[in-house]
Amino acid sequence: QTKTPSKVDNMFQNYSHSEIARDTATIKNSVIMHLTATFLRTPTSMDSGHAYLASAFSVRDRLLQRWNLTNEFHDRMKAKRVYYMSLEFLIGRTFDNALLALDLRKEYGQTLGEVGFRLEDIIDEERDAALGNGGLGRLAACYVDSMACSDYPGWGYGLRYKYGMFQQQILNGYQVEVPDCWLDSPNPWEFPRPDVTYPVKFYGHLVRDPNNDDRYIWESNVVYDAMAFDVPVPGYGTTNVGNIRLWSCKTNSLFDLNKFNSGDYGGATGGQVAAQILTDVLYPNDNTNDGKELRLRQEYLFCSATMQDIIARFKKTGRPMSELPELAAIQLNDTHPTLGVPELMRILLDEEEMSWDDAWEVTTRTFAFTNHTILPEAMEKWPVPMLDKILPRHMGIIYKINLYFLQAVEKRFPGDRDLLRRISIIEESNPQQVRMAFLACVGSHKVNGVAAIHSDIIKQTIFKDFVRIQGEDKFINKTNGVSPRRWMNECNPDMSDLITDVVGDRSWVNDLAKVKKLEERVADEDFRRRWWDAKQKNKQRLAEYILTTTGIQVNPNALFDVQVKRIHEYKRQLMNILSVIYRYHCLKQMTPEVRAKELHRVVIFAGKAASGYWVAKQVIKLINAVAEVVNADEEIGDVLKVVFIPDYSVTAAEYIIPASDISQHISTAGTEASGTSNMKFVLNGGIILGTVDGANIEIGEEIGEEQIFFFGCLAHEVEDFRHYLRFNQPKPDDALQTAFDMIQRNTFGDGAIFQPLIDSVVRGGDVYLLSVDFPSYIQAHNAVEDAYRNREEWITKSILSVARMSKFSSDRSIQEYAEEVWNIEPVRVTSCSMGI
Ligand code: GL2
C-alpha cells in the first residue's frame, strides 16, 4: 500500500528534473569537476585513489538529491517512521552498492575506462565502514537497506566511531590489533550536520520541582555536544534513500580560554579530549559485556542525542506528545540502547511536564526490543553506584519503573517474594546491578528473538517469568534475514546474471520469492554447467585473494571448506581445527597412491578475536600453526591446505562467501541465536555443515534436509551433557584423542602453548561439548565428501538451496517487523508524487 499526497507543490520540480543524468559526458564532467574543485587535482595527476574519490562524490551528488526528496516527502506526509537504534552498523563499502542501486554501474565503468581506470580497481580503493563487530552490526546494516528498498520510512541511529573494528594482522601466527583509522581520508558517504547538535549531560545533581512530584531539574556542568553525521542508504529499484544518523562527540565548546590564557595549554584542551574519547572507539566485543564506564557513557550519549532528535522531529508536526507512538516506532537492537527508555521518560517528565503514567504509556508504546543472545557473559548489567554517579536522574527513573512494576506483580502474585527477586530490574548483588535486558523488556510493548529456536529459548529461560506476567503475545519471533542486494547481486555477479536469465529480469533482487523459478531449471544441462562454472569462477577469484593476502597458493578445483565468523569458544573453531589435525593424521597414514585419490580440500578460516579474549587468540595461533606445517608438507601437497585469511571484514566476506562449497556453522546447540552468514552462504549456492542451532534449523526446513549436513547433540540435551561433564571426565573418541596427541607431541610447534585449549575440553568441563559432538562431526565430514564426489548430486543440492531461500531475505524480516511490531506502511516517493 502506498500513500500519495493530496497536493504537492513543485518546489523541488526543477531540482528533481536534473536528477540522474545517465549520459557518460555528464558523468565525466561531474567526476572531473570533483577531481578539480573538491580535490584540487587535474586529470593528468589523477591516481586511482582520487579517481575513486571523485567518482564517489559524483555518485553521491545523485544520491543526495534522492535523499533530500525522500526526507522532505516523508516529513510532508507526516509518515510514521521507524528508528532502528544500534550501537553497531557494519556497513562495509558503499560505492558499488550505490552504483547498482542507481543503475549507473555500466556508465561509471565506461567513464572511468575512458580516463584509464578499471572500475574494479577503483571500487577496491574504498575503505570499509566497520562500525560493528559481527552479525548484530551487519544485521542492522541489512535492515536499513531493506527499509530503503521496501520504501519504509526508516532511519538507523548509531555512533560515528573514529576508529572502527580494529584491523587484524597476523604476526608469528598471533593476532595483532592495529587501529582502523578509516576516516583518515575523506569519506564521501557521510554528511556532517553541525546544525543538528544536541547537548548531553553527565554527572551533576538533582533539584526537585516543588510544584510537581514527578519532575526534577538536573544540574550539571559536564555537558558534551553530540553532532550528527548522515550516511545515505541507497534504495534499489526505488528512488527512496534511507539514512543512518551517526553521532559524534563534538568538542568545540569545551575549549577553556581562561586556562589557555594563563598558559595551561593541557588544561585548556582537557575537556575536549575527555569529550572526544566518547566516540573514538568501538568496543571490539562480540557477545560479551565489558562493563566499562566509558562504554556506559557512550551508550548514554547515543541514547540522549537520538531521543532528543526524534522528539525534535516529532514536534515539528505540531501534534501533542501523547501521540508520539502514532508517528514513531523505536527498535532497540539488543540492550545497548536501552537507556533510551529512561531518557525518553526523563524528557517527557522533566521537559514536557507529563505525568508519570502518561509518560510511561507513551514510552512503552514507542519502544520494542530485540534480544540477540542468551550467553550469560553477554548480558548487560551496570553497577548501581556507577549509573547513579554518571546519570543520577536516570537511576531515579529506573528505580521508579522497577517499583511500579514490582508493585503490579505483587498484586497479581501476592506473597511470591522469590518471583519478585527474580524479575527485579535491580539485581540484589553487591554492588547492586541494573539488568538491562529486564529494563528493555519492561519498557517495550514487544520483545523478539532472532530465530525460531532462539525465540523459544528466551521464553523458557531469561524471560520465562515475564511471559507469565505480561502474556505470551508480547514475546514473538522475527527470524533474521540478509540483503539480497549485497549478499547476492553485488558480491556474486555471475550467479546473479544466471538468476536474472531464469527470472527474466532483475526484479528478484527486491523480491526474492522469484528465485523459486530456478527449480524449473534444475534438470537443464546447460544451466547446470553454467551454475557450476559461476561457482568455479568465484573460487578462482578467492584463490587469487588468498594468494595476495596470505601468499598461499590453493587449487580452485579442491573443495572449499569455509568457517568465517568471530572467533568464539561457542562457535567452536577449535573443533574445526582439531578435525583438520585428525584429517592430516589420516592422510599421513596413507600410501601415496591411496592419498592421491582423496578428495582435495582447502580449509579456510577467518575472523577476529576480541582483544581481551585470550582463549580465542590461542585458537587463531593454533590454526596458523597447523596451517604452517600442513601447507609445507610436500607429501600432502594439494590434498589438504589450511588458510587463515587475516582481517575478516564485510569486503573480505564478499570475496569468500560466493566461493564456498561447504561452510561450517557448528555452534553448540542452543548458543548461536541465529547466525546470518549461514543464510549468505546458502544464498550463494554453498552447502551448510552445521549443528541443529539458530537459523540453520529454519534453513533446513526451507531447503530440505537433503541439502544440509546436520550433526551433533540437540539444544534440549545440552544441559544434561554439561551436568554430566561437570562431574565426570570427558571421554574423547580416538579421533579427538589423536588430534590432542599430535599437538602434545609438538607436531605444530611447542605443544605446551596449546595445552590450555586441550584442558578446556578434558579438564574444564568441556562446556561447549566438543568431546560429545566430535564423533558425529567427523561422520558429517565424511558424508560431505561423499556428496561432493558426486558432482551432479552436488549441483542439484546447490541450485535447489538457492531456489528455496526466499524466506531469508531481510525484506521479509522488515516487512514482518513493520506489520507486527512497528505498525508502519511503505511510503514511496514517486516521480509524479513530487511533481517530477
Ligand atoms: C548476535 C548473535 O550471536 C548471532 O547469532 C545473530 O545472528 C546476531 C544477529 O541477530 O546477533 N548476538 C550478538 O550479540 N552478536 C551477534 O552477532 N554479536
Using CA atoms, how far residue 393 sits from 92, 202, 216, in Å, is 37, 10, 8
Q: Is residue 116 part of a domain?
A: no
Assess whether the C-beta atom of 481 lies below 6 angstroms from ligand 1: no
Pocket test for ligand 1, best of 450, 487, 681, 808 (most atoms within 8 A of CB): 450
* CB-count burial class (<10 Å; 0-12, 13-18, 19+) for 149: buried
* Cα(355)–Cα(365) distance, integer angstroms: 16
Contact by Cβ (8 Å): 143, 158: no
Domain count, the chain: 2
Catalytic status, residue 74: no
Assess whether the C-beta atom of 86 lies below 6 angstroms from ligand 1: no
Assess whether the C-beta atom of 695 lies below 6 angstroms from ligand 1: no
Assess whether the C-beta atom of 94 lies below 6 angstroms from ligand 1: no
Assess whether the C-beta atom of 478 lies below 6 angstroms from ligand 1: no
In the prediction, which pLDDT does 21 show? 81
In the prediction, which pLDDT does 588 show? 98
* CB-count burial class (<10 Å; 0-12, 13-18, 19+) for 130: buried
Catalytic status, residue 565: yes
Q: Is residue 550 part of a domain?
A: yes
> For residue 397, which of 526, 566, 561, 206 has the smallest C-alpha distance?
206
Assess whether the C-beta atom of 607 lies below 6 angstroms from ligand 1: no
Q: Is residue 34 part of a domain?
A: no
* Cα(447)–Cα(459) distance, integer angstroms: 10
CA of 694 to the centre of ligand 1 (A): 10
Among 445, 479, 513, residue at a domain's last position = 479
Same domain for 675 and 541, yes or no, is: yes
Partners of residue 331 on adjacent β-strands? 84, 368
Q: Is residue 252 part of a domain?
A: yes
135 CA closest ligand 1 atom index: 17
Same domain for 265 and 347, yes or no, is: yes
88 CA closest ligand 1 atom index: 18
Contact by Cβ (8 Å): 395, 439: no
138 CA closest ligand 1 atom index: 9
Per-residue burial over 424-433, b = 16 or more CB atoms within 10 Å of its CB, e = otherwise: bbbbeeeebb
Using CA atoms, how far residue 806 sits from 482, 622, 658, in Å, is 10, 38, 17
Q: In the chain, which residues have pLDDT < 50?
A: 1-9, 11-12, 14-18, 832, 835-836
* Cα(516)–Cα(500) distance, integer angstroms: 12
Grid cell at residue 183: 576516516
* Cα(349)–Cα(393) distance, integer angstroms: 11
Same domain for 453 and 596, yes or no, is: no
Contact by Cβ (8 Å): 393, 206: yes
Same domain for 473 and 563, yes or no, is: no
Instruction: Decide: helix, strand or coil at residue 550.
Output: helix
Contact by Cβ (8 Å): 457, 694: no
CATH number of 602's domain = 3.40.50.2000
Q: What is the pTM of this model?
A: 0.97
Q: Is residue 813 part of a domain?
A: no
Task: Tell whether omega for the bond before 232 is within 30 degrees of 0, i.e. cis.
Answer: no
* Cα(337)–Cα(303) distance, integer angstroms: 6
Catalytic status, residue 459: no
Same domain for 369 and 233, yes or no, is: yes
Residues ≥6 apart with Cβ < 8 Å to 59: 95, 98, 99, 102, 104, 108, 188
Q: Is residue 524 part of a domain?
A: no
* CB-count burial class (<10 Å; 0-12, 13-18, 19+) for 462: middle
> For residue 463, which of 428, 455, 480, 695 has the smallest C-alpha distance?
455
Amino acid at 230: D
Q: Please report which helix (H) or strand (E) contains residue 622, including its range.
A: helix 614-632
Residues ≥6 apart with Cβ < 8 Å to 620: 170, 173, 174, 175, 567, 609, 644
Q: Calculate ∠ Cα 555-558-563, nearest 5°.
A: 100
Same domain for 709 and 780, yes or no, is: yes
* Cα(76)–Cα(807) distance, integer angstroms: 34
| Nearest protein Cα to ligand 1, atom 7 | 675
Residues in the chain: 836
* Cα(154)–Cα(28) distance, integer angstroms: 33
Per-residue burial over 764-792, b = 16 or more CB atoms within 10 Å of its CB, e = otherwise: ebbbbbbbbbbbebbebbeebeebbeeee
Contact by Cβ (8 Å): 640, 627: no
Amino acid at 140: A
Look up the domain containing 714 and give its range.
536-804
Residues ≥6 apart with Cβ < 8 Å to 559: 599, 600, 601, 602, 661, 662, 784, 785, 788
Q: Is residue 562 part of a domain?
A: yes
Pocket test for ligand 1, best of 84, 87, 133, 136 (most atoms within 8 A of CB): 136
In the prediction, which pLDDT does 270 show? 76
In the prediction, which pLDDT does 253 show? 62
Among 436, 463, 479, residue at a domain's last position = 479
Pocket test for ligand 1, best of 90, 372, 458 (most atoms within 8 A of CB): 372
CA of 673 to the centre of ligand 1 (A): 6
Contact by Cβ (8 Å): 38, 57: yes
Contact by Cβ (8 Å): 463, 441: yes
Same domain for 450 and 577, yes or no, is: no
CA 501 from centre of chain: 31
CA atoms within 13 A on the CB side of 258: 1
CA of 468 to the centre of ligand 1 (A): 26
675 CA closest ligand 1 atom index: 7
* Cα(714)–Cα(722) distance, integer angstroms: 12
Same domain for 603 and 702, yes or no, is: yes
Assess whether the C-beta atom of 309 lies below 6 angstroms from ligand 1: no
Grid cell at residue 343: 531518557
Same domain for 452 and 572, yes or no, is: no
CA 450 from centre of chain: 13
Assess whether the C-beta atom of 371 lies below 6 angstroms from ligand 1: no
Assess whether the C-beta atom of 136 lies below 6 angstroms from ligand 1: yes
CA atoms within 13 A on the CB side of 429: 12
Q: Dihedral angle at the C-alpha atoms of 154, 157, 163, 169, nearest 10 degrees?
A: -50
Catalytic residue among 34, 566, 568, 797: 566
In the prediction, which pLDDT does 261 show? 86
Q: Where are the beta strands (DSSP E) in 547-686?
A: 559-564, 601-606, 640-645, 662-665
What would the pLDDT profile of 400-412 be if each residue is shown by its tens digit? 999 999 999 999 9
* Cα(663)–Cα(665) distance, integer angstroms: 7
Same domain for 542 and 422, yes or no, is: no
In the prediction, which pLDDT does 5 show? 47
Torsional class of 623: left (φ above 0), alpha (ψ -120 to 50), beta (otherwise): alpha
Same domain for 769 and 639, yes or no, is: yes
CA of 676 to the centre of ligand 1 (A): 8
* CB-count burial class (<10 Å; 0-12, 13-18, 19+) for 555: middle
What would the pLDDT profile of 99-146 be if each residue is shown by its tens digit? 999 999 999 999 999 999 999 999 999 999 999 999 999 999 999 999
Same domain for 183 and 325, yes or no, is: yes
CA 493 from centre of chain: 23
Assess whether the C-beta atom of 287 lies below 6 angstroms from ligand 1: yes
Q: Is residue 574 part of a domain?
A: yes
Using CA atoms, how far residue 447 sits from 369, 459, 813, in Å, is 5, 10, 15
Catalytic status, residue 797: no
Among 479, 501, 527, residue at a domain's last position = 479
* Cα(328)–Cα(347) distance, integer angstroms: 15
